[in-house]
A and B are shown apart, each in its own frame.
Chain A
Amino acid sequence: MSEPEKIDHKKLILAEGRDAELFLVWAGRHFRPEIDFQVMDFGGIKELTNFLKLLANDESYDNVETIVVARDAETDAEAAIKSVQHSMNEAKIPVPEKPFEYTQESSLKTAFMIFPGPEYTSGRLEDLCLLTVENDPLLECVDDYLECAKAKGERLSRIHKSKLHCFLAGKKDYAGLPIGLASRKKAWDFDHPSLEPFKRIIREM
Chain B
Amino acid sequence: MITDVLIRNFKCFKSLTVPELGRITLIGGRNNVGKTALLEALFLFLDRARIDRILRQYGWRGIEGVISTPEAMWAPIFYDYDMKHEIIISTTIDGKPETAKFSYNPQFVPPAPTTTPPLEERQISTDEKPITSFSLDIEYCNNENKKQISHLFINPQGQLALHIDYAHFSGHSSHFLPSKKHIASKQTADEFSKLAQEGRENEAIDFLRIIEPRFETLKVITEGPRSSVHGKLEGFSHSFPIHFMGEGMEKLLNLLVGMVYSEGGCVFVDEMENGIHYSALPAIWKAIGQAVCKYDCQIITTTHSYECLQAAHEGLSEMPEDFRYIRLHRKDNEISAKLSNYDMIGTALKTNLEVR
A positions within 8 Å CB-CB of B: 1-6, 40-43, 47, 50-51, 53-54, 57-59, 62
Q: State the majority secondary structure of interface residues on B.
A: mixed
B338, B340, B356: most-surrounded residue (chain A CB, <10 A): B338
- Interface segment out of the listed B17-25, B169-177, B198-206, B343-351: B343-351
CB contact between B327 and one of A5, A42, A50, A57 (< 8 Å): that residue: A57
CB contact between B331 and one of A4, A40, A59 (< 8 Å): that residue: A59
A-B CB contacts (within 8 Å), total count: 57
CB-defined interface of B314-356 with A at 8 Å, one 1/0 digit per residue?
0000000000000101110000001110011011101111111
In the complex the two chains form, is A42's CB within 8 Å of B354's CB?
no
Closest 5 CB pairs of A and B: A50-B347, A57-B338, A4-B354, A59-B329, A6-B354
Instruction: Name the residue on A nearest B351 (C-beta).
Output: A43
In the complex the two chains form, is B351's CB within 8 Å of A51's CB?
yes
When distances are taken between beta carbons in the complex, the residues of chain A under 8 Å from B351 are: 5, 40-43, 47, 51
In the complex the two chains form, is B353's CB within 8 Å of A5's CB?
yes
What is the CA–CA distance of A99 and B353 in the complex, to the nearest angstrom? 26
When distances are taken between beta carbons in the complex, the residues of chain A under 8 Å from B348 are: 4, 50, 54
What is the CA–CA distance of A43 and B329 in the complex, to the nearest angstrom? 25
B166 at the interface (CB under 8 A from A): no
In the complex the two chains form, is A5's CB within 8 Å of B340's CB?
no
Instruction: With both chains docked as a complex, state the minimum distance between the C-beta of A12 and any C-beta of chain B, in angstroms.
Output: 12
When distances are taken between beta carbons in the complex, the residues of chain B under 8 Å from A6 are: 354
When distances are taken between beta carbons in the complex, the residues of chain A under 8 Å from B346 are: 50
What is the CA–CA distance of A43 and B349 in the complex, to the nearest angstrom? 10
What total of chain B residues lie within 8 Å of the partner, measured CB to CB?
Answer: 21
When distances are taken between beta carbons in the complex, the residues of chain B under 8 Å from A53 are: 340, 344
Instruction: Name the residue on B nearest A51 (C-beta).
Output: B347
What is the CA–CA distance of A144 and B330 in the complex, to the nearest angstrom? 61
Instruction: Name the residue on B nearest A6 (C-beta).
Output: B354
Starting from the known contacts A54-B355, A57-B355, 15 additional A-B residue pairs (CB-CB under 8 Å) come to A1-B306, A2-B352, A4-B348, A4-B356, A5-B353, A50-B344, A50-B346, A50-B347, A50-B348, A51-B353, A53-B340, A54-B344, A57-B339, A59-B329, A59-B330
What is the CA–CA distance of A150 and B339 in the complex, to the nearest angstrom? 52
When distances are taken between beta carbons in the complex, the residues of chain B under 8 Å from A40 are: 351, 353
What is the CA–CA distance of A124 and B327 in the complex, to the nearest angstrom? 36
In the complex the two chains form, is B331's CB within 8 Å of A62's CB?
yes
In the complex the two chains form, is A4's CB within 8 Å of B347's CB?
no
B positions within 8 Å CB-CB of A: 30, 306, 327, 329-331, 338-340, 343-344, 346-348, 350-356
When distances are taken between beta carbons in the complex, the residues of chain A under 8 Å from B350 are: 43, 47
23 residue pairs bridging A and B, Cβ less than 8 Å apart? A4-B306, A4-B348, A4-B352, A4-B353, A4-B356, A6-B354, A40-B353, A42-B347, A42-B351, A43-B351, A47-B350, A50-B343, A50-B348, A51-B347, A51-B353, A57-B327, A57-B338, A57-B339, A57-B340, A57-B344, A58-B354, A59-B330, A59-B331
A5, A41, A57: most-surrounded residue (chain B CB, <10 A): A57
In the complex the two chains form, is A1's CB within 8 Å of B353's CB?
no
When distances are taken between beta carbons in the complex, the residues of chain A under 8 Å from B355 are: 4, 54, 57-58
What is the CA–CA distance of A5 and B355 in the complex, to the nearest angstrom? 9
In the complex the two chains form, is B347's CB within 8 Å of A43's CB?
yes
Instruction: With both chains docked as a complex, state the minimum distance between the C-beta of A26 and any C-beta of chain B, in angstroms.
Output: 20
Instruction: With both chains docked as a complex, state the minimum distance between the C-beta of A185 and any C-beta of chain B, in angstroms.
Output: 24
When distances are taken between beta carbons in the complex, the residues of chain B under 8 Å from A58 are: 354-355
Instruction: Name the residue on A nearest B347 (C-beta).
Output: A50
What is the CA–CA distance of A45 and B66 in the complex, to the nearest angstrom? 56
When distances are taken between beta carbons in the complex, the residues of chain A under 8 Å from B352 are: 1-2, 4-5
What is the CA–CA distance of A47 and B343 in the complex, to the nearest angstrom? 9
Instruction: Name the residue on A nearest B33 (C-beta).
Output: A59
Instruction: With both chains docked as a complex, state the minimum distance between the C-beta of B329 and any C-beta of chain A, in angstroms.
Output: 4
When distances are taken between beta carbons in the complex, the residues of chain A under 8 Å from B356 are: 4
Instruction: Name the residue on B nearest A41 (C-beta).
Output: B351
What is the CA–CA distance of A189 and B327 in the complex, to the nearest angstrom? 43
Instruction: With both chains docked as a complex, state the minimum distance between the C-beta of A50 and any C-beta of chain B, in angstroms.
Output: 4
When distances are taken between beta carbons in the complex, the residues of chain A under 8 Å from B353 are: 4-5, 40, 51, 54
What is the CA–CA distance of A62 and B330 in the complex, to the nearest angstrom? 12
When distances are taken between beta carbons in the complex, the residues of chain A under 8 Å from B327 are: 57, 59
